[in-house]
């Protein structure tokens, strides 16, 4: 995240509508990613597959590594 934000600050984007749209889409994607990382369960599922949030839920060792 930090590298992407630093790149966006250093890059000369100009004033076109396309460059503004690209910047907004990148920032929107970053916000969505960060919001998903604050959740206890992942915001998506794959049928018949146990994801890590289901496998390790309640495991103190796993929770301590994430924090």
- Looking at residues 30-50, what average pLDDT do you find? 76
pLDDT at 15: 81
pLDDT at 1: 74
Per-residue pLDDT tens digits for 4-39: 888 878 778 788 888 888 888 988 988 888 887 777
Cα distance between residue 22 and residue 18, in whole Å: 6
Q: 8 with 26: CB under 8 angstroms? A: yes
Q: 40 with 57: CB under 8 angstroms? A: yes
Q: How far is C-alpha 12 from the geometric centre of its chain's CA atoms?
A: 24
| Domain around 32 | 2-66
Taking 70 as the threshold, does the pLDDT of residue 48 lie above it? yes
- Per the structure, the count of domains in the chain is 1
How many other C-beta atoms can be found within 10 angstroms of the C-beta atom of residue 23? 13
């Amino acid at each position: 995240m930090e590298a992407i934000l630093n790149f966006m600050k250093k890059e000369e984007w100009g004033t076109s509508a396309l460059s503004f749209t690209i910047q907004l889409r990148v920032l929107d994607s970053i916000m969505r990613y960060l919001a998903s990382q604050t959740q206890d369960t992942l915001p998506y599922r794959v049928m018949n597959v146990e994801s890590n949030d289901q496998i390790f839920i309640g495991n103190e060792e796993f929770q301590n590594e994430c924090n």
